Structure 1
Amino acid sequence: MIVQGDDTPLMFVHGLAHAGQPDRVDRTSQFYIASQTKSFVALLAARLDESGVLPLDTTLAQIWPQLILPAPADPTRITMVDLLSHQESLRTDTLNFLTAYVRAVPAADYPDLLARYTEGRSAGFRYSNLGDLIYGAALETRTGRPWQAWLQQEVLQPLRLDEVYSHSSAVPAHRLTWNHRWDGQAWIAYPPKPDELMHAAGGLLASSNDMAAWMRVNLRRRSPTGLPSAQSFELAQRPLAKANLSDGEFVCDGYSLGWYSCAYKHQPVLMHPGSYRGVVSFTVLLPATESGFSLVVNSDSAIEGLGLELIKAFIGTATGQGSETERLRKAVADYPGRLERLVAGRREAVQKARSEDAWGGWTWSPSRRETKRYVGTFHSDRLGTLVVLQGAAGLEARLGAMRLSLTPASAGLFGISESALDAPEVFRYADDVGSLRWSDDTFTRVDAAPAKTPPDE
């Protein structure tokens, strides 16, 4: 969609909410906007700084006085500004993985997880989810209220954004869109992100109507109710970190509390993208012309490259810098090839992973009776409880919200993956099936191991 001043020259909402189902999307359909959530949290943070609820110069040590971080990270020096501008000098795979795919992480658990499962990194900007995740936990620790409640009270309600949700369970089922990936022949559909995975770095659903309204208030830095204030909008958008995101034409060299500061054809632009399994989104604001462009596609099938070309065409057209018709024609003409290469690349990655010698040629074909000994409940201190059970098509593993299939490779060794589009990962049991290894972690059985069953004769 495109907005300009009070007008909406383009509002194109088209397609299916869920491939294979009859419901079609409309202006009120809810799309997951992924990391664009950060731009909403940025305005919230600026508002809470202005009101004194959580000043942006608050340090991690002031939130968690006993927090210990790996050197050279120092809790007495890392502030809320550092977190939201991705300058916290920390990195982690654990928190990112857990919150994106597995389960909610309670605010009370953050000090322990940060102490045990983060690493220090060099100073400066590095985009990730970690800073916003920590900010959300810090806000709840300081106030006793989750970030979702604060966002609703301080941002969504004052801006009259009634069709932005931080809980998928609050949305009528017919208004929810599913996410999709193309396997070359058919769509693989993924259900809407559950509530427990809607976090401060990527936890909002929005309608086309409200994304248009969101662009307008950010372009004008003015709320219909007066709050958040113009000063809060300015602070949320002001560049704070030096970024380095460029394709040679579209250059993003700054980052605020939640927006990239970019330029194309010498035109200043604010932008934030978002992506997750089966969905791609972005919003671009062009203050010079009081115009904005937002796109959400409930498919991740080669949309990023197409989206970048659409961004350039929008900016060039909106600023009157010549016709972008040829760019648009080329982007459309190139798309089938982009998609074909993406599908082929995914297929080749799966084939390459399956061809590795470690799998033993995938010659093991155990019966359902034989695989019973691998069923059970296992636990990892880092990732939590994993359950292996018999499904209709064979063994399945469940870790929080994750649902994965196990494919037998050789005795005690399975390839684990979410779908046929994903390369299998090693899922290996100990000989006594008392433990297993997966995702660089050991899961120990917490129930009784079934007796070993001889192969069927």
Structure 2
Amino acid sequence: MTINKLGIPGFAVVVTQGDKTILAEGYGYADFENQLIANSNTNYYIASATKSFTALLAVIMDDEGVLKLDDPLQKYFPDLKIDSNLDLANIKVRDLLTHTSGLENGPIGWRVAFSGEYDQSTLLELMKYTKPNEAGYGNYEYTNIGYNIYAIILEKITGKSWQNWMQVKIFDPMGMNHTTAFISRAEKENWLLARPYMVIDSVSRMTLEKKDNTMQSAGGLIITPDDMAKWLKIQVGKGKLNGKQIFPENMIIYSQQELVNIPESERLFKPTHYGFGWLHGEYETHKVIHHFGGFAGFSTHVSFMPDKQIGIAVMVNEALAGDKLMHLTATFIYDYLLEKKEWNDYDETINAFAEKLSEGRKMISAGIIKRNDLPWLLTMPFSEYSGTYQSDEYGILTIQESTSGLKVAAGNLQCVSTPFKNEDSIRVELIPGSGQVIEFHKENNKISGLKYDGIYFTKIN
């Protein structure tokens, strides 16, 4: 069995064809510590696969005249000045959703996806840190910020969050009764949540888990296999579900358009275009519309083949195997339904993947041991580094002494640091699996601040 061979807690698979659900099931464990078995009603976090939902919401809002896709950003941020080469009068709302706005804003991205330190007024204030990205206006550069800014505008003009609009305009009409952008709702109603894991020497729960304040419009939904089947049927059925037209056919067709060319890619399906929250590529000469998602401990594949009316989703709650496993599973299902391969071919491929995965885990384990054996090169007692550090853009970062090192926290994020090879520096993984270095700065033989991922934080106490 795939789960046993790869040594992962579990995953979910959804397969639809036309208006029929062929498979919608969870396998293995949703919650490994408590031995809670995954099933068709287990909620998985889908990360950036959220974008196609948010984009459909934007199409609905445009159709209803609430927030027009062709409105210029200047209409909503009349006093915002970004750069002499970027005119908000030229950048349209639709550009935010197709990754062609030419904008970036690290502070907003950090707060809404990771630290959770914000409210609507904070986000509006942080808009002043928006700047041009490297691609420039009109050119594709994949990012979360366009979807984040869309949500900021929507709440600014309606007084209602994107999460609440999503519930009213998409989930309720579709009968997606176990899909939400609120972790608190799932916990209050005792939904079975898939928890994020990383398997190296053993199964370990990830320290970073989503909360309401980091469920953001570019990556902020949890969904069950049963509800994902409904979403896929809506896409291949052009708005129809169980014989009922939920959304106008022309609205779904509009949302599935190829809108912008994207750079040549070797990713699965070799996408050539992006539209409203969907990538457009090809598999075995068949067009495939798709979007993937990844976050600490979660990987999601969502795709459909319009001409064959096949929809496939794979959701994995393990960090190291997830990306490869979801694509292997999806392509083999396509091959099987297209009568190109048998399931024994899948077994052979999984066996080969399991060997490589085992080798990779051994390398990671060896790296952890090596890092932990490094000596501390801090020139002062731990207590001198403890305190609160602040960045106007990125918020608060705190450091406290602990028995095994310095404990570092930034909003929802926290970890215990390990030694680093440079003087007055430590290594942290505030985002699990993504190591960063904190460099401490001194003035008059006292710690005055630190630099984390190139961002300077001033020590305030």
Corresponding residue of 2:312: 293
Q: Structure 2 vs 1, CA of residues 135 and 366 (structure 1 numbering), >3 Å: closer, same or farther?
A: same
Deviation string for 1:221-266 (max 9, x for gaps)? 2245644322221111111111245438732111111111111111
Q: Tell me if 1:229 matches 2:242.
A: no
- How far apart in 2 are the matches of 1:89 and 1:148? 25
Corresponding residue of 1:25: 38
- How far apart in 2 are the matches of 1:248 and 1:327? 22
Corresponding residue of 1:450: none
Corresponding residue of 1:405: 416
Corresponding residue of 1:144: 159
Deviation at 1:353, TM superposition (A): 7.7
* 1:5-16 equivalence runs, <5 A: 5-16=18-29
Conserved 8 A contact 2:315-2:326: no
The correspondence for 1:414, drawn from 402, 412, 426, is: 426
Conserved 8 A contact 1:350-1:424: no
Q: Kindly report the root-mean-square deviation, in angstroms, between the aligned alpha carbons of the 2 structures.
A: 2.8
Q: Tell me if 1:443 matches 2:443.
A: no
Q: Which is worse superposed, 237-246 or 258-267? A: 237-246
- How far apart in 2 are the matches of 1:331 and 1:213? 30
- How far apart in 1 are the matches of 2:146 and 2:274? 13
Conserved 8 A contact 1:35-1:273: yes
Corresponding residue of 1:384: 395
Q: Tell me if 1:163 matches 2:178.
A: yes
Deviation at 1:110, TM superposition (A): 4.2
Corresponding residue of 1:194: 211
Q: Tell me if 1:45 matches 2:64.
A: no
The correspondence for 1:428, drawn from 424, 434, 440, is: 440
Which structure exhibits the higher relative contact order, with contacts defined as CA atoms closer than 8 Å and separated by 6 or more residues?
Answer: 2
- How far apart in 2 are the matches of 1:136 and 1:89? 17
Q: Structure 2 vs 1, CA of residues 30 and 347 (structure 1 numbering), >3 Å: closer, same or farther?
A: same
Corresponding residue of 1:259: 278
Q: Structure 2 vs 1, CA of residues 75 and 351 (structure 1 numbering), >3 Å: closer, same or farther?
A: farther
Q: Which is worse superposed, 29-38 or 389-398? A: 389-398
- How far apart in 2 are the matches of 1:103 and 1:416? 19
Deviation at 1:85, TM superposition (A): 0.8
> 3-state SS of the aligned residue for 1:386?
strand
The correspondence for 1:371, drawn from 382, 399, 402, is: 382
Deviation at 1:71, TM superposition (A): 4.3
Give aligned-pair identity as a percent: 23
Deviation at 1:412, TM superposition (A): 4.3
Corresponding residue of 1:94: 107
Conserved 8 A contact 2:44-2:223: yes
- How far apart in 2 are the matches of 1:394 and 1:187? 20
> 3-state SS of the aligned residue for 2:332?
helix
Q: Structure 2 vs 1, CA of residues 403 and 437 (structure 1 numbering), >3 Å: closer, same or farther?
A: same
Q: Tell me if 1:179 matches 2:192.
A: no
How many residue pairs get aligned? The number is: 439
2:306 is matched by which residue type in structure 1? P
- How far apart in 2 are the matches of 1:171 and 1:186? 24
Query: Where in structure 1 are there 5+ consecutive unaligned residues?
Result: 356-360, 448-457
- How far apart in 2 are the matches of 1:29 and 1:251? 31
TM, length-normalised to structure 2: 0.87
Corresponding residue of 1:81: 94
Conserved 8 A contact 2:73-2:91: yes
Deviation at 1:111, TM superposition (A): 5.2
The correspondence for 1:203, drawn from 195, 220, 223, is: 220
TM, length-normalised to structure 1: 0.87
- How far apart in 2 are the matches of 1:49 and 1:413? 50
Deviation at 1:331, TM superposition (A): 2.3
- How far apart in 2 are the matches of 1:351 and 1:71? 50
- How far apart in 1 are the matches of 2:123 and 2:131? 11
Deviation string for 1:45-71 (max 9, x for gaps)? 111111111111011101111111234
1:217 is matched by which residue type in structure 2? I
Deviation at 1:191, TM superposition (A): 5.6
- How far apart in 1 are the matches of 2:296 and 2:48? 12
Q: Structure 2 vs 1, CA of residues 316 and 375 (structure 1 numbering), >3 Å: closer, same or farther?
A: same
- How far apart in 1 are the matches of 2:54 and 2:383? 47
Conserved 8 A contact 2:120-2:152: yes
Deviation string for 1:246-296 (max 9, x for gaps)? 438732111111111111111111111010011101111122222211110
Conserved 8 A contact 1:47-1:229: no
Deviation at 1:103, TM superposition (A): 1.4
* 1:216-365 equivalence runs, <5 A: 216-223=233-240, 226-244=245-263, 246-247=265-266, 250-320=269-339, 322-325=340-343, 327-344=345-362, 346=364, 362-364=375-377
- How far apart in 2 are the matches of 1:241 and 1:207? 31
Corresponding residue of 1:454: none
Deviation at 1:362, TM superposition (A): 2.1
Deviation at 1:187, TM superposition (A): 2.6
Deviation at 1:408, TM superposition (A): 4.9
> 3-state SS of the aligned residue for 2:99?
coil
Conserved 8 A contact 2:378-2:424: no
Deviation string for 1:160-196 (max 9, x for gaps)? 1111110101113551121111223443434640111
Deviation at 1:130, TM superposition (A): 1.3
Q: Which is worse superposed, 100-109 or 20-29? A: 100-109
- How far apart in 2 are the matches of 1:242 and 1:77? 19
> 3-state SS of the aligned residue for 1:251?
coil
- How far apart in 2 are the matches of 1:274 and 1:13? 18
Corresponding residue of 2:49: 36
> 3-state SS of the aligned residue for 1:252?
coil
> 3-state SS of the aligned residue for 2:329?
helix
1:289 is matched by which residue type in structure 2? K
Corresponding residue of 2:6: none
Q: Which is worse superposed, 157-166 or 3-12? A: 3-12
Conserved 8 A contact 1:177-1:192: no
- How far apart in 1 are the matches of 2:17 and 2:365? 42
